Structure 1
Amino acid sequence: MKRFALTVAAALTLAAPAFAGDQYIDGTGFAVSGYDVVAYRGLDQVAVGQSQPAPVRGRADITAEYNGATWAFSSEENRDKFQQNPSFYAPQYDGHCAYGVSKGGKVPANPNLWRIVDDKLYLNITDVVVGFWEEDVPGNINLAEGNWPGIEPDGASSSVIPKFTSEGPIAN
């Protein structure tokens, strides 16, 4: 009987959909401030300690819905790639600052402060935070992964990104 109960509990756990937290959305009304998350994969990353290339802005007329948010893309091809595997392209931690999550909280993330590590997109909030993040990227990811299950159900940050202005996606 005990084994049956454990089997049923395991089956119900595996059958339940994975809970996704609220996506961070700033004043633009778009996830990742309207930048094309697929396009990050085509940008050349620079060494730790240097500024990454600017991300590619999406277009207001090429969008997709995912995780309760509207995502903008620079091309229909990128939108289609995203729709085939959105969790691959979406930034970690529902678009919140990766270093903030490593410290146990949800704070906004700046789409200009990015890094792809082990095929996952991470965003951070300020240049100063990027410095702390890059002191120990693997360690900070490990801390964030440990913290995320406990804070993921919390609502998305309602704060604004300091020193960041974005007009959102390019108008069609």
Structure 2
Amino acid sequence: MFFTANGLAVSGYDAVTYFKIGTPMPGKPDISLMWKGAVWRFASEDNRDRFERNPRAFAPQFGGYCAYAMVQGLLSSTDPRAWQIVDGKLYLTHSATIERVWKQNVSQNIREAEGHWPQVLYH
């Protein structure tokens, strides 16, 4: 699981807001929970409760690492403002520039990235 140096998943953004309102919003430090070794912050208690009931429905794919880097079998950090939801799954990318490249061939990129995940963690 990729998390920032301070242990925050999705750089402190609320993973539920991508799905609920279609835009990332920063989470609040006082509305959080621990999952998979990272602290997940939420904009509301309702979002925290939704995540807690089914975290895999909201957590980004590839452990929160850059989806496009995963195409090459690499691990890279992400910008929580560079994202896309495909078939109900959240994909984060390293930057807005990389997001544009990722979106040029999403289906193929997902297939190739899935071929490297999770083995890339052990290299």
The two structures have a TM-score, normalised by structure 1, of 0.68
Structure 1: distance between partners of 2:122 and 2:29? 29
Q: Secondary structure at the match of 2:29?
A: strand
In the comparison of the two structures, how many residue pairs are matched? 123
Q: Which structure's residues are more often strand, by fraction?
A: 2
Whether 1:72 aligns to 2:50 is: no
Higher fraction of helix: 2
The alpha-carbon deviation at position 28 of structure 1 amounts to: 4.4
Instruction: Name the counterpart of 2:2.
Output: 24
> Which structure is larger by alpha-carbon Rg, 1 or 2?
1
Match for 1:101: what amino acid?
Answer: M
Amino acid at match of 2:118: P
Deviation string for 1:73-103 (max 9, x for gaps)?
A: 0111100100111111000011100000111
Structure 1 portions without partners, runs of 5+: 1-22, 45-52, 155-172
Query: Match of 2:103?
Result: 134
Instruction: Spell out the pairing of 1:35-46 with structure 2 (5 A cutoff).
Output: 35-44=13-22
Identity %: 41
CA distance in 2, matches of 1:153, 1:72: 28
Ranges of 4+ aligned residues in structure 1 off by more than 4 Å: none
Q: Which one-letter code corresponds to 2:14 in the other structure?
A: D
The alignment's TM-score, normalised by the length of structure 2, stands at 0.93
Q: Structure 1, residues 116-164: CA drift from partner, whole Å, max 9, x if none?
A: 000000000012211210110000000001111321346xxxxxxxxxx
CA RMSD of aligned residues (A): 1.3
